[in-house]
Structure 1
């Protein structure tokens, strides 16, 4: 028989199943309280607004364009709307600096393909977004830990990259309410990252998937905005690549994300799009544009009100039920809280016991670490559970941790 492993590309060995995608299957089990999936609450989707948007598209002359092939850059009215929104964040740009992708996950895949040759180094935080590691892994990079506390010098990054057989190509991080930790990089940290990127002469990939979901605290300018301020407001002189998405605000199922960057980067990404899938769904882009133009701010206000209450409920429950020695983050927005257990705990082992004995699910933290560390950590999400369910689920989880500590 044909041995497929002998003819697969070497990169295929680095393609691993997502622990999160597998855990999402538990959402179909009514007996499980799941804090695993970092997904939006479908009850908060603007379904009626989308129903009207699609009806408007099909009832007018735009339907022909909606069902036809389109340009690889993306639907121009949507790119123009996004350019206007970027301006509100201090990122002055035009539609030519905006590129539409089939979800920001596709954007990460394209950027990995664009920058990484086998043996090159990607700088990521420990932990980092699992989907980014999956996207980059196919291009056979090495990883080095990105730290912004002053303990690493540019030369140390260069040395590690050279030893791995390549050079540093980019730094990737989520700066606002990051997946998985919920933490936010302060302004000083963002400025330090820009200094490091300039010294190393590498790109910065700014994952802004949760940027709109701030519940309290002062907003911090995106890294791209800070760099533009350094470069006289000229986006075409910047090295930061801003990745955004409508998945957390409007609807993930439509798979509409975007990249905002200098024109040189956009042109390369367009070539990739042409080779990969020609363009993202035209009709979905048109629907997103209509819904965004008619009520994006109102939709964001609605989901922030709901998620902030759930965040507060989870933080209160953790304080009430978790034993001494357990630590967790206190996010100002987003969908996640990161829990650190005492040394010696294993999140994967705890998950198996939590599902079997307590009917509660979460995501073990090891998968978010490029070096395989973080076994004593896990991620919980508050986005899809009401306050009563959160209290019950954290109560069960806290009881399990107590039992394990006493064993």
Structure 2
């Protein structure tokens, strides 16, 4: 059977993740990979999770751990998260939080809830590839997010209306963004709140890397700044998406959304229609480990990842030829490389993998319009300092050979 004619129109916008497809090529001996933006598995708190699961399956709690649960999420975990959000300046309660299957599910639900075909989503150029994957199915139009005053709200609104829709939200990762590693300063965050107020649209704040700041001044989340301005989370248009995937474990698929109660209530309906609830036992295990080990574990990640970031930046400075530039992130997992305009990262990748056994992610996939051919993303989280230095040496050799 030819299935194409029965697929919904929206499936034409759905594409395989280029990064996940790329990772399939890297299962070769001797490869130095800067491709996967993933945490170092050797630092997972496996022993603590083992004890947490054993406790969840005890006679006292096994019925809860193995039973259906409420769609909002395990209440003790939501209570812990509410306290953590309050530490960030987000005054909220458990009723402002819903647990999701990673923050990726939150992005999918928000796209489903907010986007009609032809509506506009404001995003960075480049932006997180997973966000594009989540939103694409709902057939949006993308426009470049500008928070420095170069474009007015009226301009954004008129452009959206000309395409038959309206601006529904601005999406961004304000701290150590994937893929660039860049951070939006406080003025930029305040400007975005102003823009969203004028457009009467939502702000989707992706806080996946919020906990991974290694140096520099801490900047409040956009949601915290909006609460400070408006007095209550119930008067805010920002929804914060958080995740344990970059800290405790990506495999357990535990994320959360935090926002005004009417927004959360609507997302709960989507959750009920989608998968009912996130695995109860996984929520219980995350809650136990978070309550007892989160701060200590994050401090360990800081000490490891900051050294690896410094090693990558030092190697780039020493070895890369003139004409190549890169970001200098204060946290997160990524450095973003810009090559000379005539050089395509796909060609660099092919040559680097074949001749030097070093891999990265070409940057074009992160651009909604397919531009950015001369950009690339390097992840430093899963390689030690010596490996990073050798990988950058190999990569710089390839780039020099193509200039």
* Structure-1 residue corresponding to 2:52: 53
* Structure-2 residue corresponding to 1:327: 325
Provide TM-score, normalisation by structure 2.
0.99
* Structure-2 residue corresponding to 1:138: 137
* Structure-2 residue corresponding to 1:80: 79
* Structure-1 residue corresponding to 2:306: 308
Report how many residues are paired: 403
Shift of 1:30: 2.3
* Structure-1 residue corresponding to 2:383: 385
**SS of 2:135 mapped into structure 1:** helix
Shift of 1:57: 1.3
* Structure-1 residue corresponding to 2:373: 375
Give the Cα–Cα distance (whole angstroms) in 2 for the partners of residues 28 and 60 of structure 1.
Answer: 42
Which of 335, 338, 345 aligns to 2:336? It is: 338
- 2:162 is equivalent to residue 163 of structure 1: yes
Which range moves more in the overlay, 154-163 or 246-255? 154-163
Give the Cα–Cα distance (whole angstroms) in 2 for the partners of residues 345 and 158 of structure 1.
Answer: 36
Give the Cα–Cα distance (whole angstroms) in 2 for the partners of residues 170 and 378 of structure 1.
Answer: 27
* Structure-2 residue corresponding to 1:3: 2
Shift of 1:160: 1.3
**SS of 2:191 mapped into structure 1:** helix
Listed one character per residue, the Cα deviations across residues 308-343 of structure 1 (whole Å, up to 9, x for unaligned) are 000000000101110000000000000000000001
* Structure-1 residue corresponding to 2:90: 91
**SS of 1:85 mapped into structure 2:** helix
Give the Cα–Cα distance (whole angstroms) in 1 for the partners of residues 220 and 4 of structure 2.
Answer: 47
Listed one character per residue, the Cα deviations across residues 220-274 of structure 1 (whole Å, up to 9, x for unaligned) are 0000000001111x11111000000000000000000000000000000000000
**SS of 1:122 mapped into structure 2:** strand
Shift of 1:3: 2.1
Which range moves more in the overlay, 309-318 or 3-12? 3-12
Listed one character per residue, the Cα deviations across residues 287-321 of structure 1 (whole Å, up to 9, x for unaligned) are 00000001110000001100000000000010111
Q: CA RMSD in A?
A: 0.7
**SS of 1:339 mapped into structure 2:** strand
* Structure-2 residue corresponding to 1:258: 256
Give the Cα–Cα distance (whole angstroms) in 2 for the partners of residues 38 and 29 of structure 1.
Answer: 18
Give the Cα–Cα distance (whole angstroms) in 2 for the partners of residues 399 and 147 of structure 1.
Answer: 36
**SS of 1:306 mapped into structure 2:** helix
Shift of 1:159: 1.6
Shift of 1:150: 1.4
On the 8 A contact 1:23/1:37 being kept in 2, the answer is no
Give the Cα–Cα distance (whole angstroms) in 2 for the partners of residues 27 and 251 of structure 1.
Answer: 22
* Structure-2 residue corresponding to 1:42: 41
**SS of 2:122 mapped into structure 1:** strand
**SS of 2:99 mapped into structure 1:** strand
On the 8 A contact 1:26/1:32 being kept in 2, the answer is no
Give the Cα–Cα distance (whole angstroms) in 2 for the partners of residues 47 and 27 of structure 1.
Answer: 25
* Structure-2 residue corresponding to 1:404: 402
Alignment of 1:191-202 (within 5 A): 191-202=190-201
Give the Cα–Cα distance (whole angstroms) in 2 for the partners of residues 106 and 318 of structure 1.
Answer: 35
Give the Cα–Cα distance (whole angstroms) in 2 for the partners of residues 121 and 157 of structure 1.
Answer: 9
Give the Cα–Cα distance (whole angstroms) in 1 for the partners of residues 24 and 306 of structure 2.
Answer: 26
Deviating 4+ runs (over 4 angstroms) = none
**SS of 2:57 mapped into structure 1:** helix
Shift of 1:5: 1.1
* Structure-2 residue corresponding to 1:212: 211
- What runs of 5+ residues in structure 1 fail to find an aligned partner? none
On the 8 A contact 2:147/2:195 being kept in 1, the answer is no
Provide TM-score, normalisation by structure 1.
0.98
* Structure-2 residue corresponding to 1:121: 120
Give the Cα–Cα distance (whole angstroms) in 2 for the partners of residues 152 and 279 of structure 1.
Answer: 41
**SS of 2:266 mapped into structure 1:** helix
Give the Cα–Cα distance (whole angstroms) in 2 for the partners of residues 159 and 351 of structure 1.
Answer: 40
Shift of 1:27: 4.4
On the 8 A contact 2:72/2:268 being kept in 1, the answer is yes
* Structure-1 residue corresponding to 2:352: 354
